[in-house]
Amino acid sequence: MQELKFDVLNGQDVVVFAPRRYGKSSLVWRAMQQLLAEGVLVAYVNLMTTPTKEKLAEKLAAAVYESIASPLARAKERALTPFRGLRISPTITVDPEQGAYSFSFGVDHSPPDIDATLERLLELPAELGGAPGNRVALILDEFQEIEMIDPALPKLMRTIFEQQPEVARVYLGSRRHLMERLFNDENEPFWRSAKKVELGVIAPELFRGFIVRHFRRTRKTVEGNVVDELLERTMGHPYATQELCYFLWEQTPFDGTATTAELALALAAVLRSEHAHFQLRWDAASAVQKLILEALAREPGRPMTNAYRTRHALPPVSAIQAALRALVERELVVKEPDGSYRISEPFLDRWVQAL
């Protein structure tokens, strides 16, 4: 978080890679709150909520207005002035209870008009915050969705951003293969345009102290071997560790101690909690993908080797290759640096084994 703050303060663009549920949005949100406290103007847009260019324009206009235009103008009505000169005039409404402004650009506009509107909105952070002493940041969450909105948007954005060295941008993405292509492929507009930061799991020695302290603060304790077994189960995955710890905490009485018995009950509770999620992902898998998931749940390894295929009665290599590629893209399976494969979600292997 400290590194991310320094990068933003120095005007450095950053792309944050992390699988789902690693806490990247929470991390950036914490950094954003600290940056706001230091006087940085930070606008945040989640592209998962902007399936069309009109929706992107709405969210972008609202973020720029609330986080950049209003703090600088000191008057909400005056802050609306830059938005009245857009190619497509937005419908601006006010929430009577909270006083918040929202923007609507309608639907079915001609491509040149909506593109010109987006271009102007993307120029506003630098124009509004360009005075000496101002520091401006734009956070774009789930950035891999940009091409789903319009494949031409990355080129438009990159052209504008190249002219805005005074604005720091933070790009977050959870679909690794799409984010890597956007920022690592030399044929893509964003190639080598941002510093890359990859979030990994949290080291067990750091997590161990955190878990013990939080149990102790609530009149509960946990045996050291239980913490070690828990972390071995979750492999330091941030969300999975907190989820299992929560259920372990629930199973432990006040003034009591969490033992392996409570841990077994907690794991069962996690599997019940995740059942609907895992069932949906399982149902979306092809027959070959299910065979591979079953094999990897029993034995992480190299499914394309003859010995592994024989042990688990897998189909020909060509079918396995296609299925593994799809599973990696869906982030159900991860390929390790040594070429082996494993199921990515810490509890999915146990759920598959129980089928």
* Nearest in space to 109 (alpha carbons), one of 118, 101, 100, 98: 118
The length of the chain in residues reads 355
* Nearest in space to 105 (alpha carbons), one of 127, 82, 75, 83: 83
Task: Give the span between the Cα atoms of 83 and 125, in whole angstroms.
Answer: 12
Burial class (CB in 10 A: 0-12, 13-18, 19+), 60: buried
Alpha helices in 14-139 (DSSP H): 24-37, 53-64, 70-73, 76-79, 111-128
pLDDT at 30: 93
pLDDT at 75: 64
**Looking only at Cα atoms, what is the longest distance across the chain?**
71
**14 HSE (CA, 13 A, CB side):** 25
Task: Give the span between the Cα atoms of 352 and 297, in whole angstroms.
Answer: 7
Q: What is the CATH number of domain 204-280?
A: 1.10.8
Strands 333-335 and 341-343: antiparallel
The answer to whether 118 and 60 are in contact (CB under 8 A) is yes
Cα dist. 206→22, 90, 281 in Å?
16, 49, 31
Both tokens assigned to 221: 């304790």
User: Domain residues of the chain, as ranges?
Assistant: 2-198, 204-280, 284-353
Tokens 């290759």 — which residue?
A: 321
Strand partners, 45: 140
pLDDT at 74: 66
Neighbours of 317 (CB within 10 A): 13
Neighbours of 118 (CB within 10 A): 26
pLDDT at 17: 85
236: left (phi over 0), alpha (psi -120 to 50) or beta: left
- φ, ψ (nearest 5 deg) of residue 221: -130, 165
pLDDT by residue for the chain (355 residues), tens digit each? 899 999 999 999 999 988 778 888 899 999 999 999 999 999 999 999 999 999 999 999 999 999 999 888 766 678 888 898 899 999 988 887 777 788 999 888 899 999 999 999 999 999 998 788 889 999 999 999 999 999 999 999 999 999 999 899 999 988 877 888 999 999 999 999 999 998 888 998 899 999 999 999 999 999 999 999 999 999 899 999 999 999 999 999 999 999 999 999 999 999 999 999 999 999 999 999 999 999 999 999 999 999 999 999 999 999 999 999 999 988 899 999 899 999 988 899 999 999 8
Q: Top-level CATH class of 284-353?
A: mainly alpha
Q: What is the CATH number of domain 2-198?
A: 3.40.50.300
pLDDT at 84: 84
* Nearest in space to 289 (alpha carbons), one of 344, 348, 333, 334: 333
DSSP secondary structure letter of residue 301: B
